[in-house]
Every structure is written in C-alpha cells, then in structure tokens.
Amino acid sequence: MIGPNLERLWNEMANHAQVRHSERTYAMGCATVQVTVSTLGLARWLSPAIEHRETTATAPDFSIAAFECASTSFSNEARVELQALIQVGQAADSRFRAAIGAGGVSLQIFDLEESSGIYWVERADLVPAWERAAPYRCLAAWGLEAHGLVLAHAAALAVGDQAVLVTGPSGRGKSTIALGWVSSGGGYLADDFVAVSDQAEKAYGLFRSAKISPAELQTRFSRLNHTCWGGEGEKAILLFDESVCRLPSNAQLRAVVALAAGRASSPRLVPCTAKTALLALAPSSVLQVPGVRQAAFSRLGSLVRRVPTCEMTLSTEREANVAMLGRFLEQN
C-alpha cells in the first residue's frame, strides 16, 4: 500500500516543516511563492539569491517550507522510508515530484495537489554552493510548471525589456559572457538557470547569483569582486543588486543563441536551425529537473520554433562578444 505511505510521510515532513524562523513571499516567474524557513542558519544560505524578488503580495500560487534536522525531530527512519516515496514520486503523472541532492544531504519534494513543496537538508551548513546560488531550483520548476514555465539551462541577458537566451554546455562561456554583459551595464536575468515561457516568448529571472572561477573573477572581472558571496571549490558565487546592474523580473525573448565551440578573432553571430538551438538548450535543461522532463522538452521545442535561433562563435575579446549581442538586441 504505497499510496497511504506516501501521504503519511508527506504529512510527517509537512509537520516537521512547521518550525518557522521566517516567512516571506517572493515573485517567481509569473507566479508568487511563499517560503518559510525553519532556522536563521538555513535562511542565511537559502534566502539571499532570491531576496530581490520579495513581495508583499498575498495569496501565493504555491508554497515552499525549508527545514533541517537540527531544528526538528525529523527521524532518520522517516528519511530512509522516503526513498520509497521518492522512487514512486518520480512518475510525471503522480501526485508528487521529488529529487535528491548528491550524497543524500538534501531533498526537494513537491505535492502537486497542494501546490506546496518541502526542501530538507540534514544541516544548514551542508547546503551545497550550487543550491545557495539557485535555491529551491527543482521546487521552482515544479511549482512553475502549472503556470506554463520551464527551467532552462541558459544565461539570459537584457537590454530594456528585450532579452537573448544564451545557451551551450557548461564551460562554453555562458557565465563569462553574462559577467561581461553586467560589466558593460546590461540587464541581468541569469547566468545559468532561467525560467522561460514558450507561449509568451519570455524569460523570467529567478536568482540574482552568478558563478565564475575565482581566477577569472580576479583577472577579468575584478570590479565585481565586492559582489562575491563565497563559493566552493572551483566556483565563486556572486550576488548582484541594483547598484551593480539592472535585474529585470522578465523580458521578451528576441533570440535563442547557441554558443558554438571554439574561438575566433572576432565574434560571429549567424542564424541557425531550430534543431541546433534545441540541441544546445534542451538536454542539459531537462536532465537537471526530474519529473517534468517530457513536458520541458516539448516546451523548449516549442520555444525554438517560435523565437529566432542563432549560433554564436565567441571571440577571445570579451568586449567584442558583448558588443555584438548588444547590437543584435538593438537591431531586433
């Protein structure tokens, strides 16, 4: 009888998640989410990257409760039992969506019936750096699914209310071009994860964070040093506010730009097929959010059918890359 067990464990988690240090409401994409966090320690890691979207709106569209073992009596037995819950919860047509962080230190689970999610981590200091930079990433994707939004693995860069989605595999240059964009005064929606609507052809910034290697921060973006919020291993996390760059909540997408491999003496931006753009955009987007993969693949397919698609070969000259994207946005 897995069904009642699922519900019992969900209820048990929900009871533990009642411990509240803070309760805030944030605009997230085209929806609002109420987030309750059980301890100051947890809030310290999970709130900064989204606090720019805090709102006074009432009647949130979905809710998230974040808690950790230290502030509750959440039992180890229940944690172990959750394995079964999550395995069953993977089905896209089930009531629950769930994902586990590497090593089992964190868990995200979402109840579609209640439009509510739970983020659990064993201890606040174990919140991994990537979850500090993009907190509640899967929960956001699951909550926004009902609003027609999908999480894309891409940078999104704006001029006014227009934006380009820049996509490509990790290491291809998304973050570098995003930080170059910020340094030259452009609007910032994302360097890594952004919500997109295929129907509205819009990008929605969720997190005010960016990630870059400490060496590149020092050598190429030292004027952003003061935005550094720590990091882990190979990546420093930066947190932007309006004194650094404009942080629009959303922008109309003018193009999906796939970053090509290699470097040229001067940047090249040429139209490409929707297939090329989808190959660059979809796989790493959909593989990182379980439970909605089919739907996300379909929506991203729809997006590249509707929005112009280009391929960009970056130059070794950072400023030239940024200038070319800026010109493109102004002309389109």
Partner 1 sequence: MSNSFRVNEPAAAMQVLEGEAVLIHFDSGKYYAANRSGSWLLDMLSRGYSLATLCERLPPSAQADVHEFVGLLTSEGLLTATPTPSLLEAAFEPWPDDGAPTLEVHTDLEDLLKLDPIHDVEADGWPAKAGP
Stretches 22-30, 52-60, 261-269, 275-283: which one binds partner 1 (CB under 8 A)? 275-283
Taking CB under 8 A as the rule, does residue 15 contact partner 1? Answer: no
Neighbours of 219 (CB within 10 A): 9
What is the pattern of x (binds partner 1, CB under 8 A) and - over residues 174-213?
Answer: ----------------------------------------
Residues 150-169 that bind partner 1 (CB under 8 A): 169
- Beta carbons of 286 and 172 less than 8 angstroms apart: no
Exactly one of 148, 283, 308, 326 binds partner 1 (CB under 8 A); which one?
283
Taking CB under 8 A as the rule, does residue 274 contact partner 1? Answer: yes
CA distance 169 to 155: 11
- Beta carbons of 309 and 271 less than 8 angstroms apart: yes
263 vs 305, beta carbon nearer partner 1: 305
Residues 129-148 that bind partner 1 (CB under 8 A): 130-131, 137-138
Closest CA to 142 of 96, 206, 83: 96
Q: Quote the crossing angle between the two packed helices 293-306 and 274-286, to the nearest 10°.
A: 150
Helix (H) or strand (E) holding 281: helix 274-286
> First-to-last CA distance in the chain?
57
Stretches 173-181, 239-247, 258-266, 283-291: which one binds partner 1 (CB under 8 A)? 283-291
Taking CB under 8 A as the rule, does residue 2 contact partner 1? Answer: no
Question: Residue 24 Cβ, how far from partner 1 at the closest point, in Å?
Answer: 23
Stretches 59-67, 249-257, 276-284, 323-331: which one binds partner 1 (CB under 8 A)? 276-284
- Beta carbons of 164 and 215 less than 8 angstroms apart: no
Stretches 66-74, 97-105, 203-211, 314-322: which one binds partner 1 (CB under 8 A)? 97-105
Taking CB under 8 A as the rule, does residue 48 contact partner 1? Answer: no
Closest CA to 64 of 142, 148, 151, 147: 142
Helix (H) or strand (E) holding 328: helix 318-331
CA distance 227 to 4: 47
Residues engaged in binding partner 1 (CB under 8 A): 83, 86-87, 90, 92, 98-104, 108, 128, 130-131, 137-138, 169, 273-275, 278-279, 282-284, 286-290, 293-294, 297-298, 301, 304-305
